[in-house]
Structure 1
C-alpha cells in the first residue's frame, strides 16, 4: 500500500519567509537613513580592503534587523555564521564560531542581550584585537593559550538594548536603531509580497492591511498570508478592500490593528477599574495572564497609539481609547488613586 505523503507546513512557511525577505538592501522598503549609512560604511570597507566595523541593530521585533544582518554579507561578498544569544551559555559555545570565522566574514548573533556575562566578557578581546584567551588547567598548573583570529565583523541584534552592558555596546563601531514603518511603506511591502505570492491585490486593499499591521513588516506579512487564504477560500483568490476588511475582522483585528487581547485589556481597565489608574499586576490577575505578557506584548502598541498612559500610580486609558471602544458612556473622571504598578 502506498504511503500517504507527509505534509510539512513548517518547511513551507520557512520557504515563504525566505521568499518574502529581501535579499539585497536595495530591495528593502523603509529605514532609508539606516540604509544610507550602512551603504557608506560597506563601500568604505571594500575600498580599503578591510573588514567592516562591528554593527549593533536594536529595535522592536519584526522591523528588519535580521534582514539587514543577512544582506550585509552579500554586499561584502563574504560568508556569514548565525548564532543565537540564548544558546551561548558558556565561552566554549562561542569558540567554534570565532575560530571558524573566515577573513572579513560576518558573525551574526541574534538576541545578543541574552548572552551570559561570561560569554560577553570572552567576546571583548575577539572584537577589539581579534584574539581569544583560553585557560588550560587549574591552579598553579594553569596556563593561558592565546589564539589569533582572522579579522571578522560581528553583527548583533537586540530587542532590548538596555540589557546590554555599556562595555559591550561601546565595542560596536556602529549602532543603528530601527523604527516603525509608515502606512505607505507597509503598503508597498504588502504589494511587493503579494506579487511574490502570486495573489492579485488592489491598492486600497494593500493600504488597509498596512493600516492594521502596527507599523511592522513581519505583522504585515502575516496579515497578508491570512488575507490570501481568506481570498482563496471566499473570493476566488483576488484581494479587494472589502475582502481584506472581512478577513481581518474575522481574525479579530480592528481598524487600528488592535487584536482581541488588546481590546480586552483596555475594556478591563474601563469596566472593572473605572479607567484607572491601576497596577499592571491587578489587570494581569483579572485577565489570568502574566504581567510580563502585558508589559512586553500588549502595552507597547497601546502606548504608541495613545490609548494608554502610565502614571506614577498605574495605568490609565485615554479618552481616545473610550471612543475607539465605543465606551464613552462609561467614562467618568477618576481621582488619582489606585494600585501602584
Structure 2
C-alpha cells in the first residue's frame, strides 16, 4: 500500500480571506473572489478551494502563464469584454472571480439559467449611473451565457458597445455557435483546455494539504491506485476530482488513530464514471460526431467503434447515430459496396425495434461493416456536380422522345416519338440521348477503381463505346 498523504487531525475552520482587489461586488450566489469571506460549513470542497489569485491558478498556461495577454490585462486591470470557453471544471468561473478580486471596477454576476432581460437591464442601468457618478466601470460576469436566448443576448449589446459594461461570459459551448455574432465581434475569445492529469493531481494534493480551506485537518491515508483512479476518471475536470475526494473522505469512517483510509474501492464508489466532455447540443458533440464519421470514412473500425461508444455513453440519441451511419454508407461507401447502405438502413430500423442497450450491438456491427467496406464517393460527387449544373445552367427542355406519352393526346403533341425501348434490344441496351440538348455528353458519375464499382466501370465503358 503506497501512502500518498497522511495528515494529523486538528481543529480547523473552512474559511479564508477574500480577494485582494479594491473593487465592489454584487452577485447572485456566493462570491469567493470579490472582497468577502468564503462561506463556512456547507460549501463544497471544490468551491472552498477555488483559487483567489493567478499564482494559485493551475493550468491554462497558454492564456494566463507569465507574460501572456490575459494575465497582463488582469494584472494591469485593463480588461475588454471576454468570453471564456471550455469544458466543465477547467477554471472559467474561477478566472472571473480572480478578476473580481483584482479589479477596481464594480463586479456584477448573473447566471443565465436564472436571469432574464429585466435583470440585465437593471444591471446596465445601475452601471450607467455608477459610471456617470464616480467614473467606476462595471464588469458583468454571466455564467453559462450560451443559455441566454438571442433576445437576452441582444439586450447586452448596446451597453457592451458603448462601454457601459465590460462583459465576461463563461460557456461550455462553442461561442461561435451559441453567442450572437455582434457580441463575438466585440469580445476576445479565450479557449480553456481540459486540465492534464498532472494539473488535477496538483489540485487534489493542494486540497489534501490545505488546513484552512481544504481537508488538511483530517488524517487521511490514500492509496496510490485510489488517488490515480480519481485523477484518471476525472478526465481533466478539477471540480469532479475535488467532489470525489471530498465524498471519499467524509464518508469513510476513521480507523485506528483517527486515520481515514481511502482505498481503490472507496475511490471507485466516489467517482463512479468518467466525466465525459460531451453535450448533445454543443461543440464537443459535433467534434465527436465528426471523428466518428471520419473514422468510418478512413476505414478504421477500432476508432469508429470507440467514438460510437463515446456517443452512447454520453446519452446520444441512437436514431441520430443511425442517421449518420446511413449517410456515411451512401456518401463514403456508395456503390463500392451497395450492401453497406442495406446494412446501415437495417441497423437504423433495428434500433427502434430492439431498443437499448442491445441496440448498441446492432449499431456496432453496422459501423464495423461500413468502416471496413471498400470506399467510394462517386455518387456524392455525381449528385453535387448535377446540382451545380441545375443551379448554374439554363434548364434544358426534356427531350421529346423521353416525354410522357401515356395520356390521351400525347401522341398528337409528339411526346414519346422516336423513343427506343431498351428491352427490345440485345443486352437490354440501346444508345440514345437522355440528357437535355445543352448537356449532351456530360458525365456526372465516374466509378472508382474500388470494390463493386470496378465492375460498374467496366460495364459503363462497354456501353459507352
TM range (shorter): 0.5 to 0.7
* Offset of residue 35 of structure 1: 1.2
Are 2:198 and 1:184 aligned? yes
**Distance in 1 between residues matched to 2:366 and 2:46, nearest whole Å:** 49
- Other-structure match for 1:137: none
Output the aligned Cα RMSD: 4.0
Q: Compared with structure 1, are the counterparts of its residues 17 and 163 closer, same or farther at alpha carbon in structure 2 (3 Å cutoff)?
A: same
**Distance in 1 between residues matched to 2:232 and 2:55, nearest whole Å:** 24
Q: Name structure 1 gaps, 5 residues minimum.
A: 1-9, 131-148, 259-274, 285-290, 297-307, 317-329
- Other-structure match for 1:334: 365
Are 2:52 and 1:23 aligned? yes
**Paired residue total:** 248
- Other-structure match for 2:25: none
- Other-structure match for 2:215: 197
Alignment of 1:52-91 (within 5 A): 52-90=79-117
- Other-structure match for 1:34: 63
- Other-structure match for 2:238: 217
- The answer to whether the 8 A contact 2:223-2:264 is kept is no
Q: Compared with structure 1, are the counterparts of its residues 238 and 89 closer, same or farther at alpha carbon in structure 2 (3 Å cutoff)?
A: same
Q: Compared with structure 1, are the counterparts of its residues 89 and 215 closer, same or farther at alpha carbon in structure 2 (3 Å cutoff)?
A: same
* Offset of residue 203 of structure 1: 8.0
- Other-structure match for 2:173: 160
* Offset of residue 251 of structure 1: 4.5
* Offset of residue 168 of structure 1: 1.9
Q: Compared with structure 1, are the counterparts of its residues 187 and 237 closer, same or farther at alpha carbon in structure 2 (3 Å cutoff)?
A: farther
- The answer to whether the 8 A contact 1:89-1:116 is kept is no
* Offset of residue 19 of structure 1: 1.8
Q: Compared with structure 1, are the counterparts of its residues 61 and 157 closer, same or farther at alpha carbon in structure 2 (3 Å cutoff)?
A: same
**Distance in 2 between residues matched to 1:165 and 1:109, nearest whole Å:** 14
Are 2:269 and 1:250 aligned? yes
**Distance in 2 between residues matched to 1:72 and 1:41, nearest whole Å:** 10
- The answer to whether the 8 A contact 1:209-1:224 is kept is yes
SS in structure 1 of the partner of residue 234 of structure 2? coil
Are 2:122 and 1:96 aligned? yes
Provide TM-score, normalisation by structure 2. Answer: 0.46
Are 2:162 and 1:129 aligned? yes
What are the Cα deviations for residues 274-314 of structure 1, in whole angstroms up to 9, with x where unaligned?
x998xx9xx98xxxxxx9x6139xxxxxxxxxxx9x96349
* Offset of residue 237 of structure 1: 5.6
| Larger strand fraction of residues | 1
**Distance in 1 between residues matched to 2:275 and 2:145, nearest whole Å:** 29
- Other-structure match for 1:262: none
- The answer to whether the 8 A contact 2:153-2:179 is kept is no
**Distance in 2 between residues matched to 1:88 and 1:235, nearest whole Å:** 50
What are the Cα deviations for residues 163-203 of structure 1, in whole angstroms up to 9, with x where unaligned?
2222221111x211111111111111001111221233558
* Offset of residue 221 of structure 1: 0.5
Task: Pick the structure with greater CA Rg.
Answer: 2
